[in-house]
Amino acid sequence: MDSNWTPTPGNDPTPSQYTPYTTTPPPAAQNQQRQRGSRMVVPVLIASLLSAGLAAGGTAVLIGQDGGSTTTIVQEAITPANNASGSESSVAMPAVQTGAMDIEQMYEKYGAGVVRVEHGSGLGSGFVFDKEGHILTNAHVVDGAQGTISVSFSNNEEVEAKVIGVDNATDVAVLKVDLPASALTVIPLGSSADLEVGAEVVAIGNPFGQDRTVTSGIISAMARQIKAPNGFAINGAIQTDAAINHGNSGGPLLDMNGRVIGINSQIDTGGTGNGNVGIGFAVPVDLVKRVASELMATGKAQHAWLGVQLTDVDPTLASQVKIGSDYGAMIATVTPGSPAAKAGLTGATGQVTIKGTTYAIGGDVVVEINGDKIENVADLQAVVSAGKPGDELELTLKTSEGETKQITVTLGDQPQDPIALAG
d(CA 420, CA 7): 31
Which amino acid appears at position 347 of this protein? G
DSSP helix, strand, coil percent of the chain (3-state; round to 5): 15, 35, 50
pLDDT at 90 over 90: no
pLDDT at residue 374, rounded to an integer: 95
Burial level of 159, CB count in 10 A (0-12/13-18/19+)?
middle
d(CA 335, CA 11): 46
Residues 228-276: tens digit of each pLDDT: 999 888 989 999 999 999 999 999 999 999 999 999 999 998 877 767 8
Quote the Cα angle for 171-173-179, to 5°: 155
Pick the residue with more confidence: 288 or 315?
Answer: 288
The architecture that CATH gives domain 304-422 is: Roll (2.30)
Rg of the chain over all Cα atoms, to the nearest angstrom: 22
Please give the DSSP secondary-structure letter assigned to residue 28. P
Return the minimum-mean-pLDDT range out of 90-94, 140-144, 217-221, 378-382: 90-94
Closest CA to 260 of 334, 340, 172: 172
What is the average pLDDT value for the chain, to the nearest integer?
Answer: 78
Ramachandran angles phi, psi of 60, nearest 5°? -125, 165
Give the active site residues.
140, 171, 249
pLDDT at residue 297, rounded to an integer: 95
Please give the C-alpha separations between residue 175 and each of 87, 121, 164, 282, in angstroms, as whole numbers: 23, 17, 5, 19
pLDDT at 43 over 80: no
d(CA 128, CA 116): 11
Residues 60-82: tens digit of each pLDDT: 555 544 444 332 333 333 233 33
d(CA 313, CA 329): 6
6-298 and 304-422 have identical folds? no
Closest CA to 165 of 157, 176, 156: 176
| DSSP strands (E only) in 168-302 | 172-176, 200-205, 213-227, 233-240, 252-254, 260-268, 280-284
What pTM was computed for the model? 0.73
Please give the DSSP secondary-structure letter assigned to residue 111. G
H-type helices in 202-360, by residue range?
285-298, 315-320, 339-343
d(CA 56, CA 58): 7
| Bridge partners of residue 227, in order along the sequence | 233
Listed by start position, the domains of the chain span 6-298, 304-422
Q: How many helices (H) and strands (E) does the chain have?
A: 7, 27
Which amino acid appears at position 109 of this protein? K
**Residue 189 banded pLDDT, cuts 50, 70, 90:** very high
The architecture that CATH gives domain 6-298 is: Beta Barrel (2.40)
Instruction: Give 26's Cβ-side CA count (13 Å radius).
Output: 28
Q: Which of 12-21, 238-247, 358-367, 379-388 is the most confident on average?
A: 238-247
Residues 48-61: tens digit of each pLDDT: 233 222 223 334 55
> Quick check: helix, strand or coil at residue 53?
coil
